[in-house]
Structure 1
Amino acid sequence: MLRRKTNGTNKKVALVTGALMPRGNGRAIALALAEQGIDVAVTGFTRLEGAQATADEIAKLGRKSIAVRMDGRDYQSVKEAVVWIPLSSKIKAVIWPKRHR
């Protein structure tokens, strides 16, 4: 997915969790996807402002992005979050980076 740039006619959207930490894998993945021309929805649960900061960085790269509150451990929360993503019908990838402990 990271090797191919979009041509504008086949836009891609990814949902990335864990994109709120300054050094987190999710943030790095979200930014890498945006650099490849993919619109990115990022999620946060306890610190939505961190996810919003990542979404703002993505927007500066010229891609569409949205930050959504979501608890990835709760199916209902995931379901509700996807409904709030305006481009949800186009989501091609959902990424849950492994948490460092």
Structure 2
Amino acid sequence: MIAVAMIVVGVILTALGVWLGWRWHHSAAFGWFAYAPLSDQAFTISWPAPWLTLSVTALGALLVGSGAGYLLGARPRRPDRSGEAPADPDAG
């Protein structure tokens, strides 16, 4: 149950990271510009989108991978159907 929750949260975080990256990359081409700039330097909004996007996407991918690994590792083993006795791991 915890692995499924990890996968769901991971997919949501990965999608959020991709959305943040797309939104930051495609900035709006409209806005309020009634006043002339006070200097020759353009005002840019300080948005931590590259680091935030990378962190959220990486955390989501880590959760998806961890949840999938837990699901694969927790599944029951299939019985050996070869007919041979299993090798004794303690025999040297």
Q: TM (normalized to structure 2)?
A: 0.21
Name the one with the larger strand percent.
1
| Greater RCO, 1 or 2 (C-alpha within 8 Å, sep 6+) | 2
**Larger-Rg structure:** 2
Question: Could you state the TM-score of these two structures normalised by the residue count of structure 1?
Answer: 0.20
Which of the two has greater helix per residue? 2
